[in-house]
Amino acid sequence: MLDFPKPLHQLHIFEKDGGLYAADLDKASLVEISAAIADVLKLAETRTTEEIIETLKTAYSDGDIEEAFETLIEYVGRGLLLNRGEKSDVLFFKKGDCPHFLLVVQGLAPDAVSDIENTSAGTHVALAYTIQALKDQAVLHFAGTQNRKLGENFYEVDLSLLDMVRIPEKIASQYEGILTIHSDRSQEGFIPLFRCPELPPILMQVHSVGGHGGTNVRSVLLHYTALRDYDAFTAPTDSVGEFYSQFVWDKGVFNTVANGVDLNLFRPMDKQQAKNELAKRVGDERIKTMPTVGYLSRFQPEKGASIYLKLAELNPHLLFLQAGQNEGRYAQRKIPENLIYIGFYDREKLPLIYNAFDVYCFPSVSGEETFGLTVLEAMACGVPPVISDFDGVPSVVGDAGLIVPTVPFEQDITSIASYASPLDFSEGVNLLLNDNSLRAAYAQKALNRAQTFTWKKTAQRILDLFSELNWKKKLFCENRLNTFFSSYWNTHQKRLEQKSIVLNMNSRYEMLVNPYGIFNQKVEDGLVISLLKEHTVREVETILSELIEDEDTAKAILARCYGFIQATA
Amino acid sequence: MKVETRYRVHQHRKFEQSGRKYAADLESDTIVEINDVEWELLDQNLTETLYATVERLRSKFKIEQIFEGIERLQRLSQRGQLSSPTWSTYIPSQSDRRLKLLVPFQFVPEKSVQDPVTNENRFHLLVALSKLAELETFNINGEPGHDFGGFVSNRDIIEKHSNFWFPWYAMDGYDGILLLGQFPSHDILYYSKNLPVLRCLESDRRMQALILESALNSYTAQKSTDLILSKATWLTDWLSEFGVDSAGVHTISEGINVVEPIGKELAKQHAAVLTDNPLFAQRPVVGIISGFEPNAGMRNILDIATANPHLVFFVYDSILADAYRNPLSNLVIFNASDESTRSVLPIFFQALDVVCFPAVPGTSPSLVLEAMAYGTPAVVISKYGLPPEIEGAGVLVQCPAGKGNDLEVPMQHLSETINQLLSDTERCEKYREVAKGFVAKYTWERTAQEIVRLFKQGSARANTRCQSSTPLSLCQPLFCRYYDPRTGMAYPSVYRQETNRFERLENALAEVLSKHHTPAEVESVFKHFQREVPLAGNGLNRSG
């Protein structure tokens, strides 16, 4: 049963051809209603449920009233007619110069998205920190299922993907941009948004590259072609753009926006103190006295768990600590005695864990380590890392750690995309642990480097990108050119060949340039100009890559035709 | 170019609230905020033509606003909101009233390029046509109007505040468009997508390259209501060598202009005086209406004249007449380059005993028929067979097949045929009688009537047509690369969101091109890239 009074959406109720309708202007939706529902809506904002029922009883049967409420519940469940949460126009009235952005994240509740404390997955942690930093300079609205305030400059709004496609102009008037995260859970993801030219610029974060049977790569390539001229991808490191540049022409749409690290939380502590504390928590005195190697991740093969196990077997003189989720995959294996599981900890405890490591080991082979947030966190705590030379992590570490040679697979096998030898890891680990001054030097380098990665910088980069994209949107010109294809007789070759003609009249019947000029072109040019009327530059890129063997020629054609469209718009 | 898509407006209700305007679509259950222009557009349920819409609204709104409103409604239609594209196309219905035809024509520049015979014929055609239909041409922005003696009226177009091009003004108020212009301004590509367009092809020798280009463009752009008008069956046959299907071409012979005959003997004597060559009065006279390529023509003509010293040859060739200065004694090359020379041409025609002509694009069909109409049998040099126009009045010299403008003339066979015909008086007489009938058969009235009939037929065909030649696409394709993890490579492909499937790129490419281009254009693109057109039945639909 609905709990009245409730704020309503902006509604317009009307009668047409014997039917009664409610036009929900907030949701750009129309529903057919009964007279009883109309009467409920009249009283919805000022009366309680009981008062409304009492009032209705004078005109309707119990059955009609029940049916009216049932229908209303169904409509409200679809987000229609009644505000879910606060009244939207009071909550979201846009004022001042503070930019507003819409955050669209599939598969995550808004509370979870900003809950830094209780989230563990790297991408979610990064998102939470990014939001926190963005809120200092902008107002964020999370597209969800109700209207409410989540925090300072952070709101949830009752807005679905379908709503956005229905009211794109309204979205554009409210928001300077849309921030999304790519997910390969649904192949088509956000394609419907990219098909609305009215929507503001969209920045899509891309986080992982390999694995999952290629579905992720396939999905990113799909979104790549759907990007409008004023949309872009972001990725935490250059490795993503580098990876996709083997397939696509325009690597420039991949913008590196590095993650940051919370330097207030992750900082060096007294190492012995940290070890003592951890030993007490875990109940293993060896932590206090033995050199420790750390691993903080899910303990599974993709994350290098097998390599870590062998590393422990190779080095009985070292103590290997494993923190994080342990799903028990190795429960039936004989675990070396010098490898101990130290538990799963809240974020606020992680600095203690990192500081208890003498060296941080990151042997992930999954093809999904675009950044390696735990590596940066360990570095911020002054712990030198030993990592596999794969994905984006080496660009985070730079020369502040040891990078172990890794064999990348030409094709993924299941979720594994590379392999690093435990022997090589062992060499790196022992190098650092056997030389105190070397280890100290790397620790300092790691700390210095980590301090250059801040969430404030991340947020600023995002804002700068949106600013650039909004300029691109202002400059975007619609293609109204008309082209025509025909054959002609090549008198030299004595055969029929094909040509295209750029007509001197556009789709608005306006004369373009010289009224008596003839613009005969190659078929390729006419094809590109024709396709760019309703397809993106990147879709046309795909088509040309199929039809024209020489990539440089194809790129030149695309650039020329695109420039021509801009010049004549 | 495609015929314009029409739209059916959904059941809707417009209303205003809090100072904003909306339209509630009762069929898609959506609400769309609209502006003042869109409000007005929906008032008419999108039943007006584009021209009528803009003309009605331009007093209230800027033209750019009007087009933005129209385009927004079209975009919304693609999302299933407020309207849906229909299967049928809009063609204005026709009553029994006189047709109003637009004849856009750059008369002055074309007149200066074409020869007097062509210009004269055009004049006769327009005069005859003006008796059956209202003819109108454009006069843009105060340019000096052309005086057509009142049978073609000028429509003054003064556009100070917009940048519309000619075709805009063809959008409304006409029943059809007759294109006479031969300059490659690609006008057929622009003109009204909803009206029948007939394009006349000339046989003027100086414009043969343009004729072919025009024909190929026109053919590719044709709707089922359109036709190319050819003046001779051999011109139609020639076009078919370049892929122009005869279904898209209609042959209409022009009218012929004959004077009161003076008799063959007197004509020969006059011809002898006019050419200062007594042989005209002494020997059989063979006429050649030449449309040969000039160098080949010169060789052919010299060969035949040399091989037949007992004959006199009167050659009508507008190029060789100026270029060739030392003819043989039994050869005269003539061109009607002005009124004076045109006026004596009938005398020469009456002096002919036989007229020969190559069935090539450069040969003037009207001069052939005119020469024959004085009772002259013909010898046709052709690779296409005996032209139906002269059936019963001539014989064929068959040439080997070959592509393009080349014509390999079997000179000996030609020579023999001419001499045989000259000596076969019985056959000649039969042919003469048939040829004399051309006066009544090939008239300007008949040509004009046929043109009007074709316009009416075109409109009727369009009105009964209920389905466009290309089905509308329901699942919009997204061209993308498909990544195959087994190979680590990405391949161009197409994704359909509605079915979550990847497909062959070529199918979708043909589909998206078909939205804005005719099947013949799509075929042209695929031919260029040496790919098969994937859609079934993608030839130009002529059955209409």
Average pLDDT over residues A528-537: 95
Tell me the sheet residues that pair with A488: A497
For residue A113, the model assigns a pLDDT of 77
Q: Same structural domain for residues B302 and B412? A: yes
Question: Distance (Å, rounded) from C-alpha A28 to C-alpha A158?
Answer: 13
For residue B466, the model assigns a pLDDT of 40
Q: Same structural domain for residues B488 and B346? A: no
Out of A10-19, B176-185, B419-428, least confident range: B176-185
Q: How confident is the model at residue B539 (pLDDT cuts 50, 70, 90)?
A: very low
What the block records as the tokens of B523 is: 């075929």
For residue A185, the model assigns a pLDDT of 63
- Are A222 and B478 contacting, i.e. CB atoms less than 8 angstroms apart? yes
Q: Give CB contacts under 8 A, 24+ apart, made by B371-375.
A: B371/B287, B371/B289, B372/B435, B372/B438, B373/B256, B373/B258, B373/B435, B373/B436, B373/B438, B373/B439, B373/B442, B374/B258, B374/B261, B374/B346, B374/B349, B374/B350, B374/B435, B374/B436, B375/B261, B375/B432, B375/B433, B375/B435, B375/B436
Question: Distance (Å, rounded) from C-alpha B288 to C-alpha B304?
Answer: 10
Q: Do domains A88-256 and A271-451 have the same CATH topology?
A: yes
| Burial (Cβ within 10 Å: 0-12, 13-18, ≥19) of residue B423 | exposed
What the block records as the tokens of B173 is: 């108020």
β-bridge pairing B489-496 and B477-484: antiparallel
List the beta strands (DSSP E) in A286-331.
Answer: 292-296, 319-323
The 10 Å Cβ neighbour count of residue A566 is 12
Give the SS3 label for residue A141.
strand
Question: Distance (Å, rounded) from C-alpha A213 to C-alpha A384?
Answer: 33
β-bridge pairing A339-343 and A319-323: parallel
Tell me the sheet residues that pair with A16: A19
Residue B117 has φ and ψ, to the nearest 5°, of: -65, -45
For residue B46, the model assigns a pLDDT of 75
For residue B162, the model assigns a pLDDT of 59
What are the residue ranges of helices labelled H in A410-522?
A: 422-434, 436-450, 455-475
Among B459, B487, B511, the domain-final residue is: B459
Out of B104-108, B160-164, B196-200, B303-307, least confident range: B160-164
Average pLDDT over residues B72-86: 89
How many domains does chain B fold into? 4
Average pLDDT over residues A537-553: 96
For residue B195, the model assigns a pLDDT of 83
- Are A569 and A534 contacting, i.e. CB atoms less than 8 angstroms apart? no
Q: Same structural domain for residues B157 and B234? A: yes
Which CATH code is given to the segment(s) A88-256? Answer: 3.40.50
- Reported as a single tens digit per residue, the pLDDT across B438-448 is 999 999 999 99
Q: For residue B22, is pLDDT > 90?
A: yes
Instruction: List the single residue in A12, A222, A484 with the smallest CB-CB distance to B1.
Output: A484
**Average pLDDT of chain B?**
86
For residue B85, the model assigns a pLDDT of 81
For residue A34, the model assigns a pLDDT of 95
Give the SS3 label for residue A402.
strand
- Are A84 and A158 contacting, i.e. CB atoms less than 8 angstroms apart? yes
* Partner B contacted by A162 (CB < 8 A): no
* Partner A contacted by B108 (CB < 8 A): no
- Domain positions in chain A are 11-77, 88-256, 271-451, 483-568
Q: Same structural domain for residues B504 and B531? A: yes
For residue A491, the model assigns a pLDDT of 85
Question: Distance (Å, rounded) from C-alpha B154 to C-alpha A133?
Answer: 71
- Are A465 and A488 contacting, i.e. CB atoms less than 8 angstroms apart? no
Q: Which candidate in B15, B521, B527, B532 is best for mutational testing of the A interface (most A CBs within 10 A)?
A: B521
- Are A569 and B507 contacting, i.e. CB atoms less than 8 angstroms apart? no
Amino acid at A426: S
Task: Name every chain A residue with its beta carbon within 8 A of the beta carbon of B104.
Answer: none
Task: Name every chain A residue with its beta carbon within 8 A of the beta carbon of B509.
Answer: 543
What the block records as the tokens of A76 is: 């409200």
Q: Same structural domain for residues B296 and B245? A: no
Q: Same structural domain for residues B203 and B306? A: no
Q: Same structural domain for residues B114 and B192? A: yes
* Partner B contacted by A527 (CB < 8 A): yes
Give the SS3 label for residue B394.
strand
Q: Same structural domain for residues B321 and B407? A: yes
Q: Which candidate in B11, B165, B214 is best for mutational testing of the A interface (most A CBs within 10 A)?
A: B165
Amino acid at B471: P
**Average pLDDT of chain A?**
90
Q: For residue A40, is pLDDT > 70?
A: yes
Contact A169/B500, CB-based, under 8 Å?
Answer: no
Q: For residue B374, is pLDDT > 90?
A: yes
Question: Distance (Å, rounded) from C-alpha A62 to C-alpha A66?
Answer: 6
Task: Name every chain B residue with its beta carbon within 8 A of the beta carbon of A225.
Answer: 478-481
CATH architecture of A271-451: 3-Layer(aba) Sandwich (3.40)
Average pLDDT over residues A483-494: 90
Tell me the residue range of the domain where B63 lies: 7-85
Position B93 in a domain? no
Q: For residue B1, is pLDDT > 80?
A: no
Cα-based distances in Å from A13 to A22, B167, B378: 4, 45, 83
Q: How confident is the model at residue B408 (pLDDT cuts 50, 70, 90)?
A: confident
Q: Looking at this predicted complex, what is its ipTM? A: 0.89
For residue A520, the model assigns a pLDDT of 83
* Partner B contacted by A270 (CB < 8 A): no
How close A288 gets to chain B, by Cα (Å)?
46
How close B480 gets to chain A, by Cα (Å)?
5
- Which residue does chain A place closest to B50, by CA atoms? A508
Q: Same structural domain for residues B501 and B374? A: no
Q: What percent of chain A is predicted at pLDDT more than 90?
A: 67
Tell me the sheet residues that pair with A326: none
- Which residue does chain A place closest to B495, by CA atoms? A222
Q: Same structural domain for residues B219 and B125? A: yes
Q: What percent of chain B is predicted at pLDDT more than 90?
A: 56
Amino acid at A505: M
The residue with greater pLDDT, B541 or A54, is A54
Question: Distance (Å, rounded) from C-alpha B311 to C-alpha B303?
Answer: 13
Instruction: List the single residue in A224, A486, A543 with the smallest CB-CB distance to B509.
Output: A543
- Are A44 and A4 contacting, i.e. CB atoms less than 8 angstroms apart? yes
Question: Distance (Å, rounded) from C-alpha A99 to C-alpha A469?
Answer: 14
What the block records as the tokens of B110 is: 């074309």
Question: Distance (Å, rounded) from C-alpha B278 to C-alpha A29?
Answer: 95
CA nearest to A12, candidates B40, B12, B31: B31
For residue B114, the model assigns a pLDDT of 72
Cα-based distances in Å from A134 to A128, A152, A254, B214: 10, 11, 20, 62
Position B91 in a domain? no
Measured over the CA atoms of residue A456, residue A457, residue A462 and residue A465, the dihedral's sign is: positive
Q: For residue B206, is pLDDT > 80?
A: no
* Partner B contacted by A547 (CB < 8 A): yes
pTM, two decimal places: 0.89
The CATH number assigned to the domain holding B276 equals 3.40.50.2000
Q: For residue B471, is pLDDT > 70?
A: no
DSSP B185-243: --HHHHS-TTS-EEEE----GGGHHHHHHHHHHHHHH--TT-EEEESSHHHHHHHHTTT
* Partner A contacted by B82 (CB < 8 A): no
Contact B217/A545, CB-based, under 8 Å?
Answer: no
Q: What percent of chain B is predicted at pLDDT more than 70?
A: 85
Position B90 in a domain? no
Contact B26/A30, CB-based, under 8 Å?
Answer: yes
Q: Same structural domain for residues B218 and B292? A: no
For residue A28, the model assigns a pLDDT of 93
Q: For residue B514, is pLDDT > 50?
A: yes
Residues of B (451-510) whose Cβ lies below 8 Å from A: 476, 478-488, 490, 492-493, 495, 497, 500, 505, 509
For residue A24, the model assigns a pLDDT of 95
CA nearest to A352, candidates A445, A295, A277, A451: A277
DSSP B79-130: TT-SEEE-SS-------SSPEEEE----HHHHHHHS-HHHHHHHHHHHHHHH
* Partner B contacted by A488 (CB < 8 A): yes
For residue A1, the model assigns a pLDDT of 75
HSE-up of residue B484 (Cα within 13 Å, Cβ side)? 8
- Are A387 and A399 contacting, i.e. CB atoms less than 8 angstroms apart? no
- Are A296 and A205 contacting, i.e. CB atoms less than 8 angstroms apart? no
Q: Same structural domain for residues B176 and B66? A: no
Instruction: List the single residue in B13, B32, B524 with the smallest CB-CB distance to A487.
Output: B524
Q: For residue B358, is pLDDT > 90?
A: yes
- Reported as a single tens digit per residue, the pLDDT across A357-371 is 999 999 988 777 889
- Reported as a single tens digit per residue, the pLDDT across B115-156 is 788 888 988 999 999 999 999 988 766 666 556 667 777 777
Measured over the CA atoms of residue A488, residue A494, residue A497 and residue A499, the dihedral's sign is: negative
Position B13 in a domain? yes
Amino acid at A555: K
CA end-to-end span of chain B: 16
Instruction: List the single residue in B31, B486, B495 with the smallest CB-CB distance to A24.
Output: B31
Q: Give CB contacts under 8 A, 24+ apart, made by A323-331.
A: A323/A294, A323/A295, A323/A296, A323/A353, A324/A120, A324/A295, A324/A296, A324/A297, A324/A298, A324/A299, A325/A120, A325/A298, A325/A299, A326/A298, A326/A299, A327/A298, A327/A299, A327/A300, A329/A299, A329/A300, A329/A301, A329/A305, A330/A299, A330/A305
Cα-based distances in Å from A386 to A229, A270, A400, A403: 40, 21, 10, 6
Average pLDDT over residues A38-66: 94
Q: For residue B160, is pLDDT > 60?
A: no
Q: At what angle do helices A537-547 and A523-531 cross, to 10 degrees?
A: 150
Task: Name every chain B residue with its beta carbon within 8 A of the beta carbon of A408.
Answer: none
